[in-house]
Structure 1
Amino acid sequence: MNMSQLLFNSAEKYPKDEFIFFQNKVLTYGSIAEKVKEKASGLRQYGIKNGSHVALMMGNKPEYIIAYFSLLSLGATVIPINPTFRQKEITYILNDSDAEAVIADENAIESVKSARPSLNTVKMVISITESKHCIHWSKVNGHNKDFFLEEKALDDTAQIIYTSGTTGSPKGAVITHGNLKWMTKTCTEMNSLTKEDRILVVLPIFHAYAKLQGLWQAVNKGCKVYLEERFVPEPILHRLADNKITIFLGVPTMYTMFLAVPSIYQLDFSNLRIAGSGGASLPLETIDKVREVMGVVLREGYGQTESTVMISCFPPNVERRHGSVGLPLPGIELKVIDPAGREVPTGEVGEIIFRGPNAMKGYYKKELETKETIKDGWVYTGDLAKRDENGYLYIVDRKKDMIIRGGYNVYPREIEEVLYTHPNIVECAVLGESDPVFGEEIAAYLVVNNDIGPEDIKAFCKQNLARYKVPKNIYFRESLPKNATGKILKAPLKN
């Protein structure tokens, strides 16, 4: 089954119903489907066909959605790339993915053109806006009568999504039509989605989390999608209230910023039934404050690029456990193991491994890395966690982020949870630094909203943590580095 069939199914059922709300435009399911057929036929005339690899470098706009479904309907493999990436990043991904074409928006086109001389396989660049030496998107038009949907098997590749590259060069996770089909069906059921739902999408849709949770689910049920180009806290809060949004997908940083907006106390969020958080660990303090101020319980889940999107979450009508990321999705097997591969006892920390219909096919052209990550069908996540007596999962940290100080295992997330309870700390990141005595020492990078010194921070930590977990080095910053989804990046802090 070609996954773009879901769009045509909804367009057939609800041709005149609103699909995309963007700026001052409203696009129906029928109009989007017709545009997809037109663009798919046009792309075929330019040589894009079944099996072609095509990169999409666009922000949140209707053209992204049209291009994405057009490519899938042709049987092409989509390579989503962050449109803010620069020449070096673009060159690596385009060459590694064997992309033969790039479709870019006004924010990405100049970087793509600057990378062009270094690109090995790219034959054409299509620009959403007028740009020299590029094909203009408006020229990529075919006849709807020439359109036909390319049939795809469940094991056929739909997209290759590159990891963030925190452990070396980014790797392309190969996601199949079967992965997307299963994940879309499962998440739609887990969220009890109906046609009446209104989903606000401000996370970048080149990211797997936003694409699945905000786009595929909506298309599957014929929901309304309110698409926003960028995250500005106060206007987004007003959109949530004024448009009676029922589902919002965010990351922890967004909720932290929401809570700093004074007007949040005057707005009505009573229609908001699901406020999701993913992409990074969610501080318990934030969960409590959002519930108090917005009247909604944040639903934290867990997943990674290699799992299509999700591995665990809280199903409907299941008791929430403070600090937990829920239970494995139905159909997914999950274990927490020690370095020898044995399951650890309840309450003990180990590495998460999983297998199921959400598991990626592998890393594109990286046989060794694939074999190191997928063993006997189990995907080794590199994430450390523990489970309680009822099977609820609690993320402890990334395996690579664990600090070993004087023989003690120290998990940065535990310290970050404590720091986030301090009234003057807005954001924090804890990591290890090389130390001649203890091997590693603990460092905390902080964004604060008031004058406060390192000794105050250490004194606060001593009240809440064992002494060996108290950060030795405190660094104050005006901001912390983040990726496009708002996830705090620790790698730049180590440099």
Structure 2
Amino acid sequence: MRGSSDSNIAGRLLQRLGENSHLIDAATAQTLSGKDVPGLIVGFAAGFLSAGLQPGDRVLISCGLSPASTLAYLGAMYTGMVPVLVDERALATSGDLLFARARAKAVWVAKGVRCDWARKNGVKQIEGNFDARPAHSLRPAPCAEEDPAVLMPTSGSTGVPRLVMVSHGNLRANTEAIVRSQHLATDEKAMLIMPVSYCFGASVMHSHLYQGGGVVFDSRFMFPDKVLRAINTYACTTFAGVPAVYNILLRRSNLRSMRLPGLRRFLQAGGALAPESVREMYSIVPTADFFVMYGQTEATARISSLPPDRLGKKLGSVGLPLDNLEIRIVDDEGRELAAGQTGEIQVRGPSVCSGYFDDPEATERKFGDGWLKTGDFAYRDDEGYLWIKGRTSEFIKIRGLRVSFGEVEAKVAAIPGVYECAATAAQHPEAGEALALFIVADDGASIVVERVRRALPPQWTCVSVRVVPELPKTENGKIARSQLQAMT
């Protein structure tokens, strides 16, 4: 058979699990011990095979914030099947579209999770947990490094996500590079408030289990203090979040009055967090390192990371590429640019994926000539640190001046009384395009609007500043720009 069991990333991960590899559901206090987890993964693998699925079959895995979806994901991968991940919150609205796009053979859901479209359409549905099996009773399926391990949905803000073909080799390369960059030990325990259907969440789970650590899942972040208390209860060493998460911790939690003595690191990715917020987080919890990171699903997860000891001098940068990746900055003609010049980030290396499932045209556009074309604009300074200016789709031109939504949102979010900000484009008779801002306010609306208008540079033509109760977000916590456009 092609390949070997050693190349199966789930099998390799299972071999590296240790006594600290607990999987814990903080909301229910369910704890699966490090000794039990290998047998539970193999139990899921055997259960999928007994349901009539075969190596190579694609199976949709509904991912919630509990150990079960991680066991289902790793169990499917262990058998040589290809899990197709979907956020449990999106199962009802887009699960059937992902199922059809992936040409999947079955869908797995946790016990009690409804999947009406599967029953209606006669789709094979597998529900709940499987009994543990001795870990030695089933070997991981042989595979090649380049074989697809998982179809990971992109986290774009519009439409049905494309499915990125992430190989076993991609996962191993990215996971091992993350372990090195974050100096993970064998006694780590991650607090995870993101599902593993999001590449950031998956990367945290992979890296901690791969190093022999554990993961605590907590679905209660609508009550952030509960999550902070759980960090201490379960002795978590890592906390990961997107910018919106850190804004909530800073503005709507008791973080300042809670000690987190065991926490070693904060991880931040999924968009730009205002430098002032990074500085504030570090001042509140100075005993924990703060990693500002950059990544894309098409590169498995992580691309670069800012070493915490360089925060003082490089705050605002997303750091250096991981040690097994190569980055270049190119102009519109594909010519490499010198330090200090802004162009598109392109990435090459073992964690860059091969393309999108069943979409050769998009694959050629994004991955052609061996480089991942990220669509992000940035420059590198003379030390090689990466400074992102925005995405190709997240710029507007005001009187010919290119302005990044990310830059605008970071500036406005730093204004006292502003909890969150999102920007979009509006047509303007003189400027061509202008800003339309949506803010969630901490203080009185009229006062905050006036502060925002005074703080905007004159060259940033702005047609409106609206105070809203909340910003439209994707399941992964990113701004849903298509919905913003509909609100203008």
1:222 to 196, 212, 228: 212
Whole-angstrom distance in 1 between the partners of 2:160 and 2:253? 42
2:77 to 65, 68, 72: 72
For residue 446 of structure 1, give the secondary structure of its aligned residue in structure 2: strand
Q: How many residues align?
A: 474
Letter in 2 for 1:202: I
Whole-angstrom distance in 2 between the partners of 1:228 and 1:455? 35
Whole-angstrom distance in 1 between the partners of 2:268 and 2:433? 31
Whole-angstrom distance in 2 between the partners of 1:301 and 1:262? 23
Deviates more, 1:407-416 or 1:342-351: 342-351
CA positional deviation for 1:459: 3.8
Deviates more, 1:303-312 or 1:344-353: 344-353
Q: Deviations over 1:6-52 (max 9, x none)?
A: 343135xx3x5551122322212231211222222222122211101
Deviates more, 1:101-110 or 1:416-425: 101-110
1:57 aligns with 2:62: yes
| TM-score scaled by length of structure 1 | 0.90
Q: 1:20-419 maps to which residues of 2 (within 5 A)?
A: 20-22=23-25, 23-85=28-90, 87-105=92-110, 108-113=113-118, 116-117=120-121, 123-128=123-128, 137=129, 147-166=138-157, 168-213=159-204, 215-231=205-221, 232-261=223-252, 263-295=254-286, 296-315=288-307, 321-419=314-412
- Contact 2:153–2:197 under 8 Å retained in 1: no
- Contact 2:42–2:132 under 8 Å retained in 1: no
CA positional deviation for 1:165: 4.1
Deviates more, 1:263-272 or 1:437-446: 263-272
Q: Which residue of 1 aligns with 2:463?
A: 472
Whole-angstrom distance in 1 between the partners of 2:40 and 2:91? 30
| TM-score scaled by length of structure 2 | 0.91
- Contact 1:102–1:126 under 8 Å retained in 2: yes
- Cα root mean square deviation, aligned: 2.2
Q: Deviations over 1:452-480 (max 9, x none)?
A: 33761454324xx2x12142211111000
Q: Deviations over 1:138-162 (max 9, x none)?
A: 5x88887752321111000000112
Whole-angstrom distance in 2 between the partners of 1:435 and 1:244? 53
Q: Which residue of 2 aligns with 1:131?
A: none
2:14 to 8, 15, 22: 8
1:433 aligns with 2:423: no
Q: Which residue of 1 aligns with 2:4?
A: none
Deviates more, 1:374-383 or 1:33-42: 33-42
Structure 2: gaps (5+ residues): 1-6
CA positional deviation for 1:481: 1.1
Whole-angstrom distance in 1 between the partners of 2:245 and 2:142? 39
Whole-angstrom distance in 1 between the partners of 2:91 and 2:202? 22
CA positional deviation for 1:345: 3.4
Structure 1 pair 442–105 and aligned structure 2 pair: CA distance change class (3 A)? same
CA positional deviation for 1:106: 5.3
CA positional deviation for 1:331: 1.9
Query: Of the two structures, which has the highest relative contact order with CA contacts closer than 8 Å and spacing of 6 or more?
Result: 2
Letter in 1 for 2:58: H
Whole-angstrom distance in 2 between the partners of 1:450 and 1:316? 33
For residue 234 of structure 1, give the secondary structure of its aligned residue in structure 2: helix
Whole-angstrom distance in 1 between the partners of 2:68 and 2:320? 36
Letter in 2 for 1:109: R
Moved over 3 A (4+): 110-114, 140-146, 164-169, 241-244, 315-320
Letter in 2 for 1:124: K
Q: Percent identity?
A: 25
